[in-house]
Amino acid sequence: MLIVLAGALVLPLLLFGGIFLAVGLNTGDEPGPYTVVFAKPGDECGPKGQYLDASTGEPLRCIGGGIRTSSVEFPGFSPAQNDEVRNWLATLAEDGGLNVFDHRSVQAKIDEIAAGLPPGTRVERESGTTETWIGAGLAGAGLLLGSGFARRWFQNRRAGY
């Protein structure tokens, strides 16, 4: 009976704790709302971030999770700020294409504009901290409860029950 009770309580805690931990730890891996990802046409794109052609700076039609078209528009940016980023991309691409230094320059321009957004306008990147803490708590509770059941089982076994 003790084993059935332990399995019914401990396994779900460990399972859900592991799932929450995995989600929380992997949340920060995705590009943020102000991240530009330079890729090649036909590359797979994630659900977040702005995907632009690495050589021209033009928005990409992406494959992955369905086909989607990227645009050069960022959350909280005014039309003038989005135009500023587009114009900066066009200026950098005039000499025949974009290189790694141009990619960094574009990201720096976007970061500069995003840092100046008023509070409440800027969209923050998801950190996954809450999910990580929930997962750690559930997994810890499962391990603690499991060790208690194991201790009790060994005591009963030694006593001959």
Give the residue extent of every domain in the chain. 2-27+128-159, 36-115
Which residues is 51 bridged to in the sheet? 37
pLDDT of residue 81: 92
pTM: 0.55
Q: Which two tokens stand for residue 97?
A: 């294409």
| pLDDT single digits (tens) 86-98 | 888 888 888 777 8
pLDDT (tens digit per residue) in 53-74: 888 888 877 666 555 556 678 8
d(CA 108, CA 100): 12
Mean of all residue pLDDT scores within the chain:
80
pLDDT: which is higher, 81 or 43: 81
Cα-based distances in Å from 24 to 16, 21, 35, 130, 141: 12, 5, 20, 7, 18
The pLDDT tens digits for 108-126 are 999 999 888 888 777 766 6
What is the rounded distance in angstroms from the CA atom of residue 9 to the CA atom of residue 150? 13
Report, as an integer, the average pLDDT of 13-18: 84
pLDDT of residue 27: 65
Torsion sign over Cα 51, 56, 57, 59: negative
C-beta of residue 56 within 8 angstroms of C-beta of residue 93: yes
Closest listed residue to residue 129, CA positions, set 28, 17, 53, 37: 28
CB 30 within 8 A of CB 47: yes
| Each residue's pLDDT tens digit, 21-57 | 787 777 655 667 888 888 887 777 776 778 888 888 8
Instruction: Report pLDDT for 72.
Output: 79
Quick one: pLDDT band at residue 80, thresholds 50, 70, 90?
A: very high
Q: Are 75 and 92 in contact (CB under 8 A)?
A: no
**Best CA proximity match to 107, nearest among 26, 33, 27, 29:** 33
pLDDT at 53: 83
